Amino acid sequence: MTSEILSPQELSKIDPVFGQNSFDNHEQIVFCNDKDTGLKAIIGIHNTVLGPALGGTRMWNYANEWEALNDVLRLSRGMTFKSAITGLSLGGGKAVIIGDAKMQKTPELMKRFGEFVHSLSGKYITAEDVGMTTADMDVVREVTPYVTGISENKGGAGNPSPITAYGVFMGMKAAARFKYGSDVLENKSVYVQGIGHVGEALVEHLVNEGAEVTISDINKERLEEVRSKYGVTIYGGNDIYSEPMDIYAPCALGATINDDTVYNIKADIIAGAANNQLADEDKHGLILQNRGIVYAPDFLINAGGIINVYAELENYDRQEIMRKTENIFNTTLEILDNAKVNNLTTHAAALNIARERIETRKRENSK
């Protein structure tokens, strides 16, 4: 953020909060600041019609505060639609902590963050996201019950990432069925971008199925680790977006499908875990549709994690978690068919159904 003082005219042009595209009628945004621990966090509560706003906390070294605000707004909005399309009684929320997770994350900072979450009295429930671990959630649990994704030995459902990966795998298979007429991924070339918690677990499913897996990550150690464990190929080029491949699986950060990449992508299918893969949902979704690239909507196929943490609130068991996650295959196929029949982008088709669920509940609630 620039340190210069902007004139009222300049500020009015920016409309930093309510005027942001990503604001999209957020119910509440909470800015959390604590000098002693260095905590700077933003909690976005997008919509609570279906239930409390549940969504993970991301810790990232944002270039500036605008970027952090924009990220949390985009992410919390996405959570609203993710829970709605998955049929969960949850609203959408998300939090970001500004800073380097490796250097600046301390138990004191996490506890202070937990206290801010607690002050919202359950309207927002947190979980892990990029830069967070199950152990961090355990620390948050010390100061608030409004946290999910805590360790199994502390009564939680544990790390949600393997379940997220399984859901992405199901969504990818559904997209393959739609595109190729078969959901078998054997011999398909799949590029997994980002081999963190979810990416690695996805690699395992793909390798077991006989796919030809290529991985990329900014973390060189992780690349070597995953390569030696699964015998996959490390991407050696410098433009993954121009590479011929069957399936592109974005599993790092969002907005990788943008003005610079959308015309270069040569994949038949895009199916990955990252949230908000389309920089501009309408524009880039439409370009993918026109180019014949099947895009499996991110918020639909990466819902395994939220299904897993929801189990902690609803007390359902592993079998039910797996059944609900496996069902992502059917939902994805339905949405892809629906988009084709109605000549919509796949993203819009999914969004319409999610919005309709929220509107229906709103009408019921107001009776």
- Chain residues that interact with ligand NAD, rule: CB under 6 A: 129-131, 160-161, 164, 193-199, 216-219, 222, 251-254, 273-275, 302, 305
**Least spacing, CB of residue 251 vs ligand NAD, in Å:** 5
Instruction: Kindly name the residue from 13, 35, 82, 94 that is annotated as catalytic.
Output: 94
Q: Are 223 and 246 in contact (CB under 8 A)?
A: no
Phi-psi region of 266 (alpha: psi -120 to 50; beta: other; left: phi over 0): alpha
Question: Length of the chain, please?
Answer: 367
Closer residue to ligand NAD in complex, CB, 293/307: 307
Q: How far is CA 53 from CA 46, 47, 93, 174, 194, in A?
A: 7, 7, 5, 28, 27
**Least spacing, CB of residue 185 vs ligand NAD, in Å:** 19
**Least spacing, CB of residue 268 vs ligand NAD, in Å:** 21
Q: Kindly tell me the sign of the dihedral angle through the C-alpha atoms of 175, 180, 186, 192.
A: negative
Residue of minimal Cβ distance to ligand NAD: 196
Most distant CA pair in the chain, distance: 60
Q: How far is CA 66 from CA 20, 121, 291, 341, in A?
A: 10, 27, 32, 39
In single-letter form, the type of residue at position 339 comes to A
Q: How far apart are the C-alpha atoms of 15 and 11, rounded to whole Å?
A: 6
**Least spacing, CB of residue 157 vs ligand NAD, in Å:** 11
Closer residue to ligand NAD in complex, CB, 165/344: 165
Closer residue to ligand NAD in complex, CB, 117/273: 273
Q: Does the active-site annotation cover 94?
A: yes
Active site residues: 94
